[in-house]
Amino acid sequence: MLAACLFVLASCEPEPVLSLDKESLTFSQEGGTATVAVTANNDWTVTGANNYCSVSPSAGNKNGFITITVSENNATIGRSVSLVVSCVSRSETASKTLTIKQDGAAGKAEIVKYAVAGDLASIPAAGATVTFDIEANSQWTFTCDAADVTIDKASGVSLKTTITATVGTNPQFEGRELKFSLSCMTESGGNTASVTIPQDGGLLTYAGETYRTVKMKDGKWWMAENLRYIPAGMTPSDDVTAVKAGIWYPLVVDELTPDKASVKFSREAAVIKANGYLYNTETALGLKTGDLTVDNCKNYEGVRGICPEGWHIPTRADIIALVGKTNAKEDTNPNAPYYDPDLNGGNASIALLNADGFNAGAWGAVSIANTTAAKASLMGAVKSYQGGMNTGYLAGSTLVDTGKNLTTNEDGSIKNCQFMGFMPFVGNGTYNGALNNYRNGVSVRCVKNN
Write down the mean pLDDT value for the chain. 94
> pLDDT for 330-384, tens place per residue?
899 999 999 999 999 999 999 999 999 999 999 999 999 989 899 999 999 998 8
pLDDT of residue 2: 54
C-alpha to C-alpha distance for 192 and 110, rounded to whole angstroms:
8
Boundaries of every domain in the chain: 14-102, 109-199, 203-448
Residue 4 in this model has a pLDDT that exceeds 60: no
Rg, C-alpha atoms of the chain: 42
In CATH, the number for domain 109-199 is 2.60.40.10
C-alpha to C-alpha distance for 244 and 249, rounded to whole angstroms:
14
Instruction: Please classify residue 350 by burial: count the beta carbons closer than 10 Å to its beta carbon, then call 0-12 exposed, 13-18 middle and 19+ buried.
Output: buried
pLDDT of residue 407: 84
Residue 117 in this model has a pLDDT that exceeds 80: yes
Reported as a pLDDT band with limits 50, 70 and 90, residue 6 is very low
Residue 8 in this model has a pLDDT that exceeds 50: no
Count of beta carbons in the 10 Å neighbourhood of residue 15: 10
184 has which bridge partners? 140, 191
pLDDT of residue 20: 97
Same fold, 14-102 and 109-199: yes
Residue 269 in this model has a pLDDT that exceeds 80: yes
Residue 80 in this model has a pLDDT that exceeds 60: yes
The full DSSP string for 340-398 is: ETTSTTSEEBHHHHHHTT------BEEE--STT-S--EEE--BTTB-SS--BB-EEEEE
For domain 14-102, give the fold.
Answer: Immunoglobulin-like (2.60.40)
C-alpha to C-alpha distance for 331 and 244, rounded to whole angstroms:
32
185 has which bridge partners? 190
Reported as a pLDDT band with limits 50, 70 and 90, residue 329 is confident
**Count of helices and strands (H, E) across the chain:** 5, 35
- Counting Cα atoms < 13 Å in the Cβ hemisphere of 293 gives 6
Residue 265 in this model has a pLDDT that exceeds 90: yes
pLDDT of residue 90: 84
Reported as a pLDDT band with limits 50, 70 and 90, residue 447 is very high
Beta strands in 92-250 (DSSP E): 92-102, 109-116, 128-136, 140-144, 150-151, 155-156, 160-167, 176-186, 189-199, 203-206, 209-215, 221-223, 247-248
Task: Average the pLDDT over 274-303 and give the result.
Answer: 96
Count of beta carbons in the 10 Å neighbourhood of residue 444: 27
pTM as predicted: 0.75
Task: Average the pLDDT over 186-193 and give the result.
Answer: 93
Contact 423, 328 (CB under 8 A): no
Residues 6+ apart with CB under 8 A from 321: 218, 220, 333, 336
> pLDDT for 402-442, tens place per residue?
667 788 888 888 888 999 999 999 999 999 999 999 999 99
Reported as a pLDDT band with limits 50, 70 and 90, residue 9 is very low
> pLDDT for 245-263, tens place per residue?
999 999 999 988 878 889 9
Contact 290, 184 (CB under 8 A): no
Task: Average the pLDDT over 4-28 and give the result.
Answer: 78
C-alpha to C-alpha distance for 436 and 450, rounded to whole angstroms:
25
